[in-house]
Structure 1
Amino acid sequence: MNRRSFLKKSLGSLFTLLGLSGGTFYYAKDVEPILLHVNKNTVESSKIPKAFDQFKIVQFSDTHIGFHYTLEQLKELVTKINGLQADLIVFTGDLVDEPQNFHWDNTIIDILKELQATKGKFWIYGNHDHGGYGTEVVYNVMEKAGFQLLQNNSVSIKLKDAAFNLAGIDDLMLGKPNINQTLAQVNTNLFTVLLAHEPDFADKAKNHPIDMQLSGHSHGGQIRFPFIGHLYSPAYAENYVQGKYTLNEGRFQLFVSSGIGTTRLPFRFLCKPEINMYTLKSKV
């Protein structure tokens, strides 16, 4: 750890201790984690066909159900997402916090099944999905809920006589990611969206024919302070933690969702949970 990182983490820990010991503790634990908001972005590109102008992609990520996030809250999330009238819904990983300890039944399937999108629902594995022997059980739940897995592969999203590519890579930490396999069937002339749980994969993805990457994993840091920023982010979410980043002189756009739930610590401070909506715009 370099001096700057050490000072940042030391000051952050001190502020956390002082701030969360008072009324802020209640806010960070019981208020902000339920202040779900919709983060809206417009994505403009000359590669987006006119047929997809105003096409809406809704992303949700990192629900971590079971760790201070309930199935009742998931129901509310589904209602809010359906209210956005998405054309396409994507889930970018970490459905439950501890798959090995979660009580799996049809309830979670029935809730996720209610999500509606005209052009389908897709998902990728996160590290918590593979962890705790969850790989197969999470797959079965998402499959029964009407989600299609993207695991080192891609699909073509078609509308009228136009299309764009939607690709998904396996989790970096506990999966077997293979970007060449992922893009093997991609038409490089089309606009390409990559789902990658860990945002730092963008440093590799930017060297491939990808226009936009959607990620989660970081939780936006969960706890943030003015002038300091986030106190901690997990591996593979250290370079890109929250919000929008542009690479390759603007040709590659990365969006990092702050996610829905929490993990490790049941707090959010200056880092509200979010649904992300991306409205495509054809650039003439």
Structure 2
Amino acid sequence: MNRRAFLKRAGAFTLALLGLSGGTIYYGREIEPSSLEIRKEAILSNKLPSVFHNKKILQFSDTHLGFNYSVKDLKKLVNLMNSRNPDIIVFTGDLIDNPKYLEDHNHTEIINALQPLEAPLGKYWIYGNHDHGGYGTETLFEIMESSGFKLLQNSHVKISEQNQSLILAGIDDMMLGKPDLQAALHQANPDLFTILLAHEPDFADEAVHYPIDVQLSGHSHGGQVRLPIIGHLYTPLYAEKYVLGKYVINNKLELYVNAGIGTTRLPYRLFCKPEIHEYTLHAKMS
């Protein structure tokens, strides 16, 4: 977003805040940002192997460490996620708010916070736009690798159990990376149920042309501040069409947009609580 657009949006946000009561402003800064919700969704498909029936995927996104969100907060999140007993954990980008955060903070603390996450079928992640940038890109890779997460950067894995499988793919960030969906799906069996991790939700308009069943995204923060009737005041580039919740594109691709955990630019959430997604897989029996 250019400076002019940002100032215009910031001005609209400020005017909106001025129109609210002091209690509402306090709530938006101090209460709602820590009021985490668990958004439960059922994913149904006759392509899902029976062995994956009732398997659980947890998605978290956009923690933005360093901007109003601390490692201590991250540890609380990890404890909550482990209490949900997920089979697979996915992180859809923006662990940090600014790569400079990694210069000023102990990497071991971040690793120690993320490492205890448990998922018998694996932990996977993709880059967000805030994660990329010189020093941060490589350092974050080392942190996530040490935390037991596998990076899906224009690549995929076949997750198997009892000789039955599904595909989990991921692309690089649209804004600061080089996304390549063809590379991500190279040699992937198109007949297998396929889930794509893409930080920016608007990538779904590209993904719908490929053998992908579900796309999981973040980036939008759900707008972060939403007002009655008006809805969200602002979303970033590539989160302008798909902002929050579930969408079905061309009666084919299911897109889920996560509102994220942290905040960025402004330390407020209003009518847009932070969330994690808990997906339960359901194999339709013919």
The whole-number CA distance in structure 1 between the counterparts of 2:45 and 2:175 is: 31
* Separation of aligned partners in 2, 1:118 and 1:135: 27
Which runs of structure 2 are paired with 1:165-244 in the superposition (5 Å)? 165-244=167-246
Distance 2:84 2:18 in 1: 38
Shift of 1:13: 5.4
For residues 85-96 of structure 1, the aligned pairs below 5 Å read 85-96=85-96
Please give the alpha-carbon distance, in whole angstroms, between the structure 2 residues aligned to 1:39 and 1:138.
27
The alignment partner of 1:236 has SS state of coil
* CA-CA distance at 1:131 after TM superposition: 3.0
**CA offsets, 1:69-89, max 9 Å, x none?**
011110100000000100000
What is the CA–CA distance in structure 1 between the aligned matches of 2:167 and 2:159, rounded to whole Å?
A: 6
Tell me the TM-score normalised to structure 1 length: 0.94
| Cα separation, 2, equivalents of 1:218 and 1:152 | 21
Aligned positions of 1:45-84 closer than 5 A: 45-84=45-84
Q: Residue in 2 aligned with 1:128?
A: 130
Q: Which residue in the other structure is 2:277 paired with?
A: 276
Which residue in the other structure is 1:36 paired with? 36
Post-superposition CA distance 1:220-273 (Å, at most 9, x none): 000001111100000000000000000121x21000000000000000000000
Is the contact between residue 98 and residue 132 of structure 1 (CA under 8 Å) also seen in structure 2?
A: no
Q: Percent identity?
A: 55
Instruction: Measure the CA separation in 2 of the matches of 1:93 and 1:11.
Output: 27
Q: How many residues align?
A: 276
Question: Structure 1 stretches of 5 or more lacking a match?
Answer: 1-8
Q: Distance between the aligned counterparts of 2:226 and 2:123, measured in 1? A: 32
- Which one-letter code corresponds to 2:249 in the other structure? L
Which residue is 1:17 aligned to? 18
TM-score (ref. length: structure 2) = 0.93
Structure 2 CA distance for aligned equivalents of residues 235 and 81 of structure 1: 29
2:110 counterpart SS class: helix
SS of equivalent residue, structure 2 residue 211: coil
Segment drifting more, 60-69 vs 100-109: 100-109
Q: Which position in structure 1 is the counterpart of 2:6? A: none
CA distance in 2, matches of 1:219, 1:131: 21
Which residue does the alignment assign to 1:4? none
Consecutive unaligned residues in structure 2, runs of 5 or more: 1-8
Contact 2:17 2:25 in 1 (8 A): no
Closer/same/farther in 2, CA of residues 64 and 132 from structure 1, 3 Å limit? farther
Shift of 1:14: 3.3
Counterpart AA for 1:192:
T
8 A contact 1:210–1:252 mirrored in 2: yes
- Residue 50 of structure 1: CA displacement? 0.8
CA contact (8 A) 1:245 1:254 kept: yes
> Is the CA contact 2:218–2:260 (under 8 Å) kept in the aligned structure 1?
yes
CA contact (8 A) 2:224 2:268 kept: yes
Output the CA distance in 2 between the equivalents of 1:178 and 1:154.
12
Partner Cα separation in structure 1 for residue 37 and residue 161 of structure 2:
29
Say if 1:53 and 1:282, in contact at 8 Å, map to a contact too.
yes
Q: Residue 256 of structure 2 corresponds to which residue in structure 1?
A: 255
CA positional deviation for 1:11: 7.0
Partners of 1:194 and 1:79 lie apart in 2 by: 26
Question: Could you give the per-residue CA deviations for residues 86-126 of structure 1, whole angstroms, max 9, x where no partner exists?
Answer: 00000000011111134132011011001000101000000
1:130 aligned counterpart, secondary structure: coil
Give the alignment's Cα RMSD to 1 decimal: 1.6
1:185 Cα deviation from its structure 2 partner: 2.2
Shift of 1:200: 0.3
- Residue 107 (structure 2) aligned to one of 102, 105, 108: 105
- What is the alpha-carbon distance in structure 1 between the residues aligned to residue 283 and residue 205 of structure 2? 26
